[in-house]
Amino acid sequence: MRVLIATMNDGKLRECERLLADVPNLEFETMASLGLWVEVDEDQDTFEGNARKKATEVAAAASIACLADDSGLEVDALAGRPGVYSARYSGPGATDARNNAKLLQELANVPDARRTARFRCAIAVVGANGELLAEADGACEGRIAQEPRGSHGFGYDPVFVPDGYGQTMAELGPETKNTISHRAQAAAALVPLLRDRG
């Protein structure tokens, strides 16, 4: 089964390939390998809705099955923000550094006990004909650190401390992250669904 991973984010691409490596007969294509660029307006109000929309539009453009995810950070003290706006939280031209800086500024007066948060991820796999083949979601609970720490990962990893750990996700490194992350949980739920379709 050929599946296009619908992302231009190299970090996310590497994670997906590692997390789904146990699915037999699964051959990954990338946007780069197909010379494909599809701009999808992620305008849905849930991670699941954005994942389905992205997978559907990219699968139609590529004429092969497509796996897409939408993920982000929900902070309880901010009423769930940044949520589906995580990647563009700091506005036009948002970068990981600017997003993290804005988040820490908004939480400047919030004590550690109230800095609870979670990473959430929804994954959808859609066939070339538009059929929803599989979907799954996952979450990783934790809290927001007082300052960025660590050089691994991407996104909000430098400011997110998962429950049970004293280090940020960016300090823990890929081996640990790939067992506890929101994307790891969603991928683990997706693996048996893809195996059944194989």
- Phi, psi for residue 104 in degrees, rounded to 5: -65, -35
Does residue 70 carry a catalytic annotation?
A: yes
Given 3-state DSSP classes, what are the helix, strand and coil percentages for the chain, each rounded to the nearest 5?
A: 40, 25, 35
Three-class secondary structure of residue 123 per DSSP: strand
Among residues 70, 96, 137, 157, the one annotated as catalytic is: 70
Provide the phi-psi class of 57: left if phi over 0, else alpha when psi is between -120 and 50, else beta: alpha
Q: Is 155 exposed, middle or buried (0-12, 13-18, 19+ CB in 10 A)?
A: buried
Q: Which residue is it, tokens 């992350």?
A: 181
Structure tokens at 166: 């004293």
Distance of CA 142 to the CA centre of its chain: 16
Q: Which residues are catalytic?
A: 70
